[in-house]
Amino acid sequence: MGLNVIALGGNAILDTDPTDNGQKQVVAEAAKYIADFVTTGEKVVVCHGNGPQVGNLLLQQQAGESEKNPQLKLDSCGAMTQGSIGYWIQNALANEFLKRGQQQTVTSMVTQVLVDKADPALSNPTKPVGPFYSKEEADVLSQDGSVYIEDSGRGYRKVVPSPMPKAIVEKEAVQALIAADVLTVCAGGGGIPVYQEGNQLVGIEAVNDKDFSAKVLAEDVQADRLIILTGVDNIYIHFNTPAQKALTEISVSEAEQYVSEGHFAAGSMLPKIEAAIDFVKSGENRTAVITSIENLAKMNEKVGTIIHK
């Protein structure tokens, strides 16, 4: 048994029902699987995405903007969704443990993630946020200067800058919570991107990729395993072709070869496998697993796609 960082996607939380209760229900289901995993004796830190939620919040901010009620910037909106989703997960897990009669403290914390002010990604928006649109709708919406791209065959979404995370600003606090056996939800939405200027941390109009932030978090807390949850049980090569093959247990070199051969979509599976590769290479005896949440409590059965050195 060891320390695990679990990355839960924002698209998984906002599946079909964007309402407050709809998203809470999805999180409550996810909490059952996470609680099952903790019950096996594993220590857990949870982080999550917020792409759909922060995009929807930006739309709400825009719709309600006035001189007395100006819309907030993207870093503030990221913090707001980090807080709301963190609360949903914290509340759902606490309720799940209470139902089971288990003593387990759960908390969530607003987390900043250090990025490079000179990161070229800041001038090249690639991170999808918000709802899906048709091509026609996206063409109209892009007239305000926003950029919309096709996302994994599901429609068009607004994209914003996504710099590479470097370090968790509050890592000592997270480490202290882990040492106190507190199940911690942090780095939500990839964390709030900030850069350091002198002795100040400055928020940036951007959204970090939650998989890369989860990798940085896992390194900072010296986790044994990074678990990236997605909508499928395994990663596939030759996806949606007659030669489709599920990957079960692969080495870093095999994973890197598949990446170089272009098997993984840039806005979908690619950041997950790149984050997994980087984490495994960053220390000894580290593994990464990419799988569905339904497989979470079956980790000892070697489910999903496991990447090792």
Cα-based distances in Å from 143 to 123, 139, 150, 253: 18, 7, 16, 44
Is 158 one of the annotated active-site residues of the chain? no
Q: Which helix (H) or strand (E) holds 176?
A: helix 171-179
The terminus-to-terminus CA distance of the chain in angstroms comes to: 19
Which of 51, 55, 56, 127 is the catalytic position?
A: 127
The first and second tokens of residue 172, run together, are 């000592």
Locus of tokens 């990419």:
290
The DSSP symbol for 126 reads -
Locus of tokens 């914390």:
109
Which of 24, 158, 171, 210 is the catalytic position?
A: 210
Angle at 243 between CA 238 and CA 247, to 5 degrees: 60
Which of 49, 272, 295, 304 is the catalytic position?
A: 272
Backbone angles phi, psi at 127, to 5 degrees: -90, 115
Is 210 one of the annotated active-site residues of the chain? yes
Is 215 one of the annotated active-site residues of the chain? no
Which of 10, 49, 188, 304 is the catalytic position?
A: 10
Contact 179, 102 (CB under 8 A): no
Q: Within the chain, what is the greatest distance between any pair of CA atoms?
A: 58
Which residues fall within 8 angstroms of residue 169, CB to CB, at 6 or more apart? 111, 112, 113, 114, 191, 194, 201
Backbone angles phi, psi at 88, to 5 degrees: -60, -45
Q: Which residue type occupies 194?
A: V
Residues serving a catalytic function are 10-11, 127, 210, 272
